[in-house]
């Protein structure tokens, strides 16, 4: 199980060991954080491009997003870490995030766990 930490700095671990490679680059981690914040609804590719590469044209932005998704799948060694085609989201069976756990605790009314 992959663990994404968003509180106290962005990081990703695989079975407790830090992930290395392109998956730990700033924009790639930001992509993971955006998808974690979006939850099960995910975000459209166009929104992700607008958030991560606002200065680029659409074609170049799509290329950058595709490269980031490829790097994640390769470095995380999980082809199914990202789900969707036009709307991307994290696969909850593969990636767990502290943000997701925090929101679930708040919904349960468990302030101590949050």
Within a domain: residue 113?
Answer: no
What is the domain-level CATH number for residue 46?
A: 1.10.10.10
> For residue 114, is it within any domain?
no
Inside any domain, residue 36:
yes
Give the residue from 53, 4, 62, 8 showing the smallest Cα distance to 33: 4
Domain count of the chain?
Answer: 1
pLDDT tens for residues 76-108?
A: 887 888 999 889 999 999 999 999 889 888 888
Q: 114 falls in which pLDDT band (50, 70, 90)?
A: low
What residues contact 39, with CB distance under 8 A and at least 6 apart? 89, 100, 103
| Domain enclosing residue 98, as ranges | 2-108
Residue 9 tokens, joined: 């700095």
């Amino acid at each position: 199980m992959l663990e994404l930490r968003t509180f106290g700095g962005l990081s990703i671990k695989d079975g407790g060991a830090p992930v290395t490679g392109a998956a730990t680059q700033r924009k790639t981690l930001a992509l993971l954080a955006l998808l974690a914040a979006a939850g099960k609804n995910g975000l459209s590719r166009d929104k992700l491009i607008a958030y991560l590469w606002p200065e680029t044209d659409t074609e170049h932005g799509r290329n950058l997003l595709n490269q980031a998704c490829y790097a994640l799948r390769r470095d995380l060694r999980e082809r199914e870490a990202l789900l969707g085609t036009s709307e991307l989201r994290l696969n909850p069976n593969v990636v767990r995030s502290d943000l997701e756990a925090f929101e679930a605790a708040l919904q349960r009314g468990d302030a101590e766990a949050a």
